[in-house]
A and B are shown apart, each in its own frame.
Chain A
Amino acid sequence: NAGVTQTPKFQVLKTGQSMTLQCAQDMNHNSMYWYRQDPGMGLRLIYYSASEGTTDKGEVPNGYNVSRLNKREFSLRLESAAPSQTSVYFCASKRVLNTEAFFGQGTRLTVV
Chain B
Amino acid sequence: ELKVEQNPLFLSMQEGKNYTIYCNYSTTSDRLYWYRQDPGKSLESLFVLLSNGAVKQEGRLMASLDTKARLSTLHITAAVHDLSATYFCAVDMGGGADGLTFGKGTHLIIQP
Contacts and interface: CB of A to CB of B under 8 A. Distances in A.
A46 to B, nearest CB: 9
Contact of A42 (B33, B45, B93, B104): B104
A56 B98 CA distance: 9
Contacts, number: 58
Interface string B38-74: 0001111100101000000000000000000000000
B25 interface: no
Given A42-B88, A43-B88, A45-B93, A101 B104 contact: no
A48 B99 contact: yes
Interface of B is mostly: strand
B92 interface: yes
Interface residues of A, number: 26
Q: Which of B4, B93, B98, B102 has the most CB of A within 10 A?
A: B98
Contacts of B97: 48, 56, 58
A41 interface: yes
Given A40-B104, A42-B102, A58-B99, A98 B45 contact: no
B98 A50 contact: yes
Contacts of A105: 41-42
Contact of A100 (B4, B41, B48, B105): B48
A99 B99 CA distance: 11
Given A45-B100, A56-B98, A101 B31 contact: no
A33 B99 contact: yes
Contacts of A33: 98-100
A2 interface: no
Contacts of A101: 33, 45, 100
